[in-house]
Amino acid sequence: MRLSAPKQATWWIALVIGVLGILAFLVTIPVLSGFAFWLVVIAFLLLLLAAFVPGL
Protein backbone atom coordinates (compact mmCIF):
# COMPACT_ATOMS: atom_id res chain seq x y z
CA MET A 1 0.00 0.00 0.00
CA ARG A 2 1.45 3.33 -1.07
CA LEU A 3 0.48 6.51 0.66
CA SER A 4 0.60 9.87 -1.07
CA ALA A 5 0.63 13.39 0.24
CA PRO A 6 -2.66 15.23 -0.15
CA LYS A 7 -2.84 18.07 -2.62
CA GLN A 8 -2.48 21.53 -1.19
CA ALA A 9 -6.14 22.40 -1.83
CA THR A 10 -7.30 19.27 0.01
CA TRP A 11 -5.03 20.07 2.94
CA TRP A 12 -6.34 23.64 3.17
CA ILE A 13 -9.96 22.49 3.03
CA ALA A 14 -9.35 19.97 5.82
CA LEU A 15 -7.55 22.63 7.86
CA VAL A 16 -10.43 25.10 7.52
CA ILE A 17 -13.01 22.46 8.46
CA GLY A 18 -10.93 21.37 11.47
CA VAL A 19 -10.37 24.92 12.69
CA LEU A 20 -14.10 25.66 12.33
CA GLY A 21 -14.82 22.57 14.42
CA ILE A 22 -12.39 23.62 17.15
CA LEU A 23 -13.71 27.19 17.18
CA ALA A 24 -17.30 25.93 17.30
CA PHE A 25 -16.36 23.86 20.35
CA LEU A 26 -14.67 26.75 22.16
CA VAL A 27 -17.02 29.58 21.15
CA THR A 28 -20.77 29.35 20.69
CA ILE A 29 -21.53 29.51 16.97
CA PRO A 30 -25.27 28.85 16.57
CA VAL A 31 -25.10 26.83 13.36
CA LEU A 32 -21.84 24.95 13.95
CA SER A 33 -21.56 24.33 17.70
CA GLY A 34 -23.77 21.25 17.61
CA PHE A 35 -21.55 19.72 14.93
CA ALA A 36 -18.13 20.71 16.34
CA PHE A 37 -16.96 17.14 16.99
CA TRP A 38 -18.14 15.93 13.59
CA LEU A 39 -16.42 18.78 11.77
CA VAL A 40 -13.08 17.75 13.27
CA VAL A 41 -13.76 14.09 12.44
CA ILE A 42 -14.61 15.01 8.84
CA ALA A 43 -11.40 17.02 8.53
CA PHE A 44 -9.27 14.10 9.75
CA LEU A 45 -11.13 11.62 7.53
CA LEU A 46 -10.58 13.88 4.53
CA LEU A 47 -6.84 13.91 5.19
CA LEU A 48 -6.81 10.16 5.71
CA LEU A 49 -8.71 9.58 2.47
CA ALA A 50 -6.39 11.94 0.63
CA ALA A 51 -3.39 9.91 1.84
CA PHE A 52 -4.84 6.70 0.38
CA VAL A 53 -6.28 8.06 -2.88
CA PRO A 54 -3.63 9.42 -5.23
CA GLY A 55 -4.47 12.79 -6.74
CA LEU A 56 -6.93 13.85 -4.04
Tell me the per-residue pLDDT of 12-30, one tens digit each, with 9 for 90 and over.
Answer: 999 999 999 999 999 998 9
pLDDT of residue 28: 94
- 40, part of any domain: yes
- 43, part of any domain: yes
pLDDT of residue 56: 83
Q: State how far the Cα of 46 lies from the Cα of 56, in Å rounded to an integer.
A: 9
**pTM score:** 0.89
The 3-state DSSP composition of the chain as helix, strand, coil percent (nearest 5) reads 70, 0, 30
Query: How many domains are contained in the chain?
Result: 1
- 2, part of any domain: no
- 3, part of any domain: no
Domain of residue 25 covers: 8-52
